[in-house]
Structure 1
């Protein structure tokens, strides 16, 4: 790999970003994997050739191959969840660097997040229950919200954590226990300054690993069923001037929990090994490939240079799978979801209402799924995935 690459999901998440990142790390000499959004709610499943398996949250998906991870300032860092993940991986802290300006997720953010979602009752927005969105929201109204660099000073850290506890309410955990745990995090990980990212990018090709998907983007997703995170390439662009944009899609579209899903079809026989109904996320939903929504994702993400298509083994096992290239809305065809003005949540909420009324148009069954998706999304397929491991991937053209 001779250039930096950014891997972004063009759906609602769960398209296989982790396995794509792992394949790139297996095929090339990658300097580091940089996480550029989200936090501990990520679940990127990787299976190596020797049978090792891990579902990555905060560590990058190249970790099992010894590729370092850098958590940029855009990541919401959860020290408690990170410690648990590190223990499963054998505590590879030598492979981890963290930007000191990244926000800290605390038990109080998590508890407040869960209380808020429960209070919505049947009108849940959808949440992972990890407090990532609550952390982002709190920081918008509290300039002194705790950050990773605060874990280097007991006095400052305790003051900021006490403020979070006071503002957000109880979490069933003693303040000083959290302070001690976060100080241990600060002693263990390598906390770096803003200049580190640029230096890292200058040392060799890097892979930017996104979390969630463009259709859940905080500004471009179907409001209010979205994440408090920028899931497009925008954060990458602010960190790196020149990089290749890879968009990841499955041969069928999926989403977790509440929100519009025009092509949903519960009758599809597509058993899922790593996704299930969750207490906070809700049901794992499957449907036909939604070319309309994925084209919208490409457009609002600023375009893609290449596609990675995963689950190409699925059409052979599920003859009922189809592709949807248009919707029907009030009896009229709807072929393109028109992006609205930047950061216009009223427009996005109106889109949500329209999508809730839309139904799939004619469904097609292509002979060549990768070729059909390439044509429908107007971008070349450069990674084909037929299974969970790097050996199940075909890396085409000049991707590596």
Structure 2
């Protein structure tokens, strides 16, 4: 049975939750391996809509074991808020497992995230202010707090004292904020310990044993390829590895156990926050995509920047992730357009670039070179086979497939759980 990595192919918000849900009934484990509550998955089940931020999407599927692995940073307040909200709606959350090695987001991480972003002024990155970056920075600086530390008060206190020693100097002397007391943090974290204890597992051992026992494990990435700390549009990126390689380090499952990499890509492009975006639209076409696609952040509510499909980015994603299958989402949003442009290359200072430029400066100044495809007027939300799609919609899918570096195995044609066209099986 396979180990499958599911990642975003653009700048996030591609509909990874829907793709996870498509696989859910055939998957035994769904693993969140990176990020924190700085991203959201919106999943529609029947008439119910669920907005998840920290929890794996698989928590909505009966029989699936959801796992928050070691590569995640966990805001405990958010974790229990989401669990309580789901329980109130009748969702069974009792199978959730949390890695003992996952790092914890504290109050001082959230505070530092907000004040440092404001301090940057025009150079702001566009973070969500959830404390994600500062928590990962502490992890790398080896002053982080891990889940397992909550069960030894002496160790927890020592670690919080060490972390706050420098941070309070920064808060008071640089940012003109009040110092944070050690007891304030320790007491807050300890208040979650007993509720958390039953969930905490050696998830590395659990996941490897699951694969040994022929279970199917799905690794669900937060954010997306172009927000990866190493391979994204740095510095306008997240603080973790959102690519398929992050699934390996973020879960403790070896690379030779990964069977398939599925990348979710929208039929157009969006991003939230600052940074380069070659196909970004500032006209009525951009507003059309934003309105028709309801392009507002699940976590922040911020309106997303919108643009046309970018084939060089899809090829880049296919290359660095080893993509075996694309899931093309929100094809229905393009319905009604007379013409649909697709970016096939870039022009930088008079020179054509068929691939994403390695220089961030070049990418920032890249102008899209478009190929224009005819649109369609027919409602496609009821399509369940490829032949159900209008001829122009079929031609659009086949064209972007040929440009994108891997096959398009499924196509989202509406927000509903079953509003999807499957061309190739994503597991077999």
Superposition TM-score, scaled by structure 2 size: 0.83
**C-alpha distance in 1 between matches for 2:423 and 2:195:** 41
2:45 is matched with which residue: 43, 48, 63? 48
Change (3 A) 1:140 1:334: same
1:154 and 1:179 in contact (8 A); partners too: no
How far does residue 315 in structure 1 lie from its aligned partner after superposition? Answer: 1.6
How far does residue 175 in structure 1 lie from its aligned partner after superposition? Answer: 2.5
1:162 and 1:175 in contact (8 A); partners too: no
1:99 and 1:193 in contact (8 A); partners too: yes
1:20 aligned partner: 19
1:383 aligned partner: 410
What does 1:74-113 align with in structure 2 at a 5 Å threshold? 74-90=71-87, 92-113=92-113
1:197 aligns with 2:207: yes
How far does residue 294 in structure 1 lie from its aligned partner after superposition? Answer: 2.1
How far does residue 300 in structure 1 lie from its aligned partner after superposition? Answer: 2.3
Larger C-alpha radius of gyration, 1 or 2? 2
2:59 aligned partner: 63
Deviations 1:70-107 (A, max 9, x none): 11111111111111111111174412101111111111
Change (3 A) 1:182 1:370: same
Query: Could you tell which deviates more after superposition, 371-380 or 265-274?
Result: 265-274
2:242 aligned partner: 231
What does 1:240-259 align with in structure 2 at a 5 Å threshold? 240=254, 241-259=257-275
1:326 is matched with which residue: 339, 345, 351? 345
1:344 aligned partner: none
Deviations 1:16-67 (A, max 9, x none): 11111011114x2x11101111111120110012x12111122111222222
2:388 aligned partner: none
1:175 aligns with 2:179: no
2:233 aligned partner: 222
- In structure 2, the gaps of 5 or more residues are 169-178, 375-391
2:265 and 2:328 in contact (8 A); partners too: yes
**C-alpha distance in 1 between matches for 2:351 and 2:344:** 14
Deviations 1:166-189 (A, max 9, x none): 332346992244133332443352
1:186 is matched with which residue: 191, 196, 219? 196
SS in 2 for 1:322: strand
**C-alpha distance in 2 between matches for 1:162 and 1:318:** 58
How far does residue 154 in structure 1 lie from its aligned partner after superposition? Answer: 2.3
1:365 aligned partner: 373
1:140 aligned partner: 140
**C-alpha distance in 1 between matches for 2:299 and 2:425:** 39
- In structure 1, the gaps of 5 or more residues are 340-350
**Equivalences, count:** 382
1:37 aligned partner: 34
Superposition TM-score, scaled by structure 1 size: 0.89
1:207 aligned partner: 218
2:344 and 2:369 in contact (8 A); partners too: yes
**C-alpha distance in 2 between matches for 1:277 and 1:81:** 14
What does 1:108-119 align with in structure 2 at a 5 Å threshold? 108-119=108-119
Deviations 1:148-198 (A, max 9, x none): 111222222233233333332346992244133332443352333532221
SS in 2 for 1:333: strand
SS in 1 for 2:421: strand
Change (3 A) 1:213 1:24: same
CA root-mean-square deviation? 2.2
